[in-house]
Amino acid sequence: MAALVFSSPIVGSAVTIPEQRPPRAAPPAPVEIRQAWRVTLPLRTIDRVTAYHLLDGIIYAVVSNGSVHAVQADTGRILWSRALVKPPGVVYPPFIHYSPEFYGVGFTLAHEVVLLDPQTGSEYKRMLLEKPAVASAASMADTIFSAEADRHCAAYQLKDLYQRWHIVTTGPITVPPIFLNDLQTVFLTDASGDYAMLWASDREVVYHHRLGGAATGPVALDNQYFYIATSDNLLNCIDKLTGAVRWQFRLPTRPQGGPILVNGNIYQALSGGGIQRIGKEPGRPNWLHADGTRFLSEWNGRVALLDKVGRISVVDSVTGEFVGSVPTDGLTDGIPNPVNSALLLTSAAGEMRCLQPPGSDAASLARFRPPTTQPTTRPSDPPALVRPVKE
């Protein structure tokens, strides 16, 4: 296969990228699939779901009237519904909070952060912010890290709601901060392209570097690296411990949102349409599905993508070759699912369907659910960063 060669602006060495070719044209071939569950949220006709989020086995549907509905992802059972703000108030994507006292889900609103019980929706804690939020917060056991207006990131103690520290970034913050429990640090990136790691206890800088563009969506991470899609049409792989850029992949156009990690693969949506698949390790085959609009799930060497004509396209995970299609029954949007093989289709009217692909593990639906006994703290390894002793 012919190859295109681009130069890496940071690493400085040539990066060989397989030529981007759309999947072979083929007539839609139906793929056998079964429906695991279907549910419609109890919405008024004037209400619309503005966003769906899959988090720790629960789907959270944010509605235009300021309410949130929680649905159990493995069964479709509606757990609870709760009003959080008056319209047109903002509700940022949820985050998980772990502490010895409480395992919960957090919602960041315009001027406060609310912690709820994921199973009942009952309120555990509500915290006012000193400045308006601009993205979802992050949390450690006793602290909330808030991305705020005027280029502020602040740490608030949950016990007394006191602001422990704050920093001012180079540019506005547009994506959520990340708390790393194993390192006890916070990772930030801003609209100037700056990214930094700070010690969570006192904001001291571990490292501070800059990319050539701003993050276009949330930062993804695994055990070793951060993955950041930036406005200069790059996907950047960054070493967690040092902040060094390990590799960069040049995308054919500007990315839309952040990357999605599934096993050894990265899926990145592109502005104007298209899903780019990138192998996490160099030398893996990469492909572009030009008609894709959203990644849905991956199983047994197959990838399910929503496409521009409102159907599910199933492609080979290694080559990107078209395999077949799945009807959506009018549900033309979906929730990315990096957890298992289930396909989650949605509509703005509050309808959801869970589809189970052929040849996938039937028990995989159960893996939506976190352990029955929730951990009191996040599991962690011994810290890999050691703070230098000040003389």
Please write the tens of the pLDDT for every residue from 99-109: 988 999 999 99
Are residues 292 and 306 in contact, defined by beta-carbon separation less than 8 angstroms?
yes
d(CA 376, CA 129): 26
Write down the pLDDT at residue 366: 82
Q: What is the DSSP letter of 310?
A: S
Q: What is the pLDDT of residues 343-379, one digit of tens each?
A: 999 999 999 999 998 777 767 888 886 654 444 444 4
Q: What is the pLDDT of residues 33-75, one digit of tens each?
A: 899 999 999 999 999 999 999 999 999 999 999 999 999 999 9
d(CA 290, CA 370): 35
d(CA 90, CA 135): 10
Write down the pLDDT at residue 385: 75
Phi, psi for 116 (deg, rounded to 5): -125, 160
